[in-house]
Amino acid sequence: MRIRRLAGFAVAVAVIGASGTMTGTAAQGMKEGQGGMMHGHGAGTAPMDAKGADDATTRWSDKRMFEVSYEPSPRPVHVNALHTWTLVISDAAGRPVSGAQVSVDGGMPAHGHGLPTAPQVKSLGEGRYLLEGIKFQMPGQWVVTLHIVSGGAADSVTFHLKLE
């Protein structure tokens, strides 16, 4: 199975308070292990545009506060398997972001559902983080949003994946 990041997709982003916790339906969805962003059929979705899709795993956050990359393990990502991602987070000046609070949201926009698991993120130090317990239960187009809070700054980055 291959992973491709899909460009041109708008998604709703959960609101993060200064404490770094999610609120509203996003938080409820995470508690239920469903991801929060896709809490109703078609919630926060827009048509996908597969043009220009590639397998890049590095993106800037929405407000360009953080540059984030991930490396999945195992690679390639398999459907119905638990995965671990190593994240690297840098600030706009390229310095490693240590001690950030990172939460995960995501789902399958075309089907209107979230992730089947509630992934957790822990710091490894020097801008590196371990995202554990992410799973995709079927082939298709997926989004994974990382909500990052560090030093009073809050921003989100969304990765677009196509699992085949």
Residue 81: its H or E element: none
**pLDDT for residue 98:** 96
**pLDDT for residue 164:** 86
Domains of the chain: 24-163 (2.60.40.10)
**pLDDT for residue 55:** 59
What is the rounded distance in angstroms from the CA atom of residue 2 to the CA atom of residue 82?
Answer: 16
Q: Judge if pTM exceeds 0.85.
A: no
Edge-to-edge strand order for the sheet containing 140-150?
A: 113-114, 101-108, 140-150, 153-163
**Tens digit of pLDDT for each residue in 112-148?**
999 999 999 999 999 999 999 999 999 999 999 999 9
**pLDDT for residue 2:** 40
- Residues ≥6 apart with Cβ < 8 Å to 8: 48, 49, 51, 52
**pLDDT for residue 29:** 36
Are the CB atoms for 33 and 118 separated by under 8 Å? yes
**pLDDT for residue 41:** 25
**pLDDT for residue 50:** 38
DSSP assignment of 132-156: EEE---SSEEEEEEEEEEETTEEEE
pLDDT 10s per residue in the chain (164 long)? 444 333 333 333 332 333 333 333 333 333 333 334 333 222 232 333 333 344 579 999 999 999 999 999 988 888 999 999 999 999 999 999 999 999 999 999 999 999 999 999 999 999 999 999 999 999 999 999 999 999 999 999 999 999 98
